[in-house]
Amino acid sequence: MRLILLGAPGAGKGTQAEMLTKLYDIPCISTGNIFREHISNNTELGQKAKAYMDEGKLVPDSLVIELVKSRITQDDCKNGMIFDGFPRTIPQAEALDVMLKELSIPIDFVINVDVPDELIVDRMSGRTVCPSCGASYHKVNKVETVAGKCDLCGETLIQRDDDRAETVKKRLDVYHEQTEPLIAYYKAQGKVLDIDGVGTVEEVRDRVKKALGVK
């Protein structure tokens, strides 16, 4: 099974990716992890990517595709893979299609987890974390016992910059401009499964399974 997960930041793609990884026994492919692995191993591709990143530049799509190809041709991807966070743009999707066609491993389905912007802002801006032990909390889903204090170590909780409402809204603007067009792109190929991402993790998980024909 070869899948692409689409959805806005905070839509719950990562949670569903974990479930699908276990369900199909296939790896989840993240370009961030690929970059880190190549840079850590000081590969030629890693050195090229690091040069762009050190200058604060985006890694070119052509190099990203090379890095992705190096990952999905590894043995653990023989039975499939899940792309989470890639592709992000139409040019990346087009380049991925060309590469996958060359390898004769087409995408089976594109799972689009749909959650309204206002709910995403509420979800993400309600998060706090412990700077000491890393435990995470939420004003609705996981409230700390003592307000503003970590249950595990007692440290004062903080809100990460990425989780502030104004930051979340900016990230959503980028998503709508750059990544959302991928939904129409893959719908034209007849591969999109639209999933209502509102509800509990279990409810969304069951919708994904049903869409994939898993009992």
Decide if pLDDT at 143 tops 90: yes
Of the residues 13, 123, 205, 207, which is catalytic?
13
Domain membership of residue 53 (yes or no) is: no
Domain membership of residue 103 (yes or no) is: yes
What mean pLDDT value characterizes the chain?
93
Q: In angstroms, rounded to a whole number, what is the distance separating the alpha carbons of residues 92 and 107?
A: 14
Residue 164 annotated to the active site: no
In this predicted structure, what is the pLDDT of residue 141? 79
Decide if pLDDT at 14 tops 90: no
pLDDT tens by residue, 61-70: 999 999 999 9
Query: What percentage of the chain has pLDDT greater than the value 70?
Result: 100
Domain membership of residue 109 (yes or no) is: yes
Q: How many residues would you count in the chain?
A: 215
Residue 71 annotated to the active site: no
pLDDT tens by residue, 129-138: 999 999 999 9
DSSP code of residue 85? S
Domain membership of residue 108 (yes or no) is: yes
> What's the CATH number where 136 sits?
3.40.50.300
Decide if pLDDT at 58 tops 90: no
Domain membership of residue 70 (yes or no) is: no
**Number of domain units in the chain:** 1
Domain membership of residue 17 (yes or no) is: yes
In DSSP notation, 110-152 reads EEEEE--HHHHHHHHHTEEE-TTT--EEETTTB--SSTTB-TT
Domain membership of residue 67 (yes or no) is: no
Residue 197, marked binder: no
Contact 72, 148 (CB under 8 A): no
Domain membership of residue 42 (yes or no) is: no
Residue 149 domain boundaries: 2-26+79-211
pLDDT tens by residue, 82-99: 999 899 999 999 999 999
Give the position of tokens 């999707």. Answer: 93
Residue 9, marked binder: no
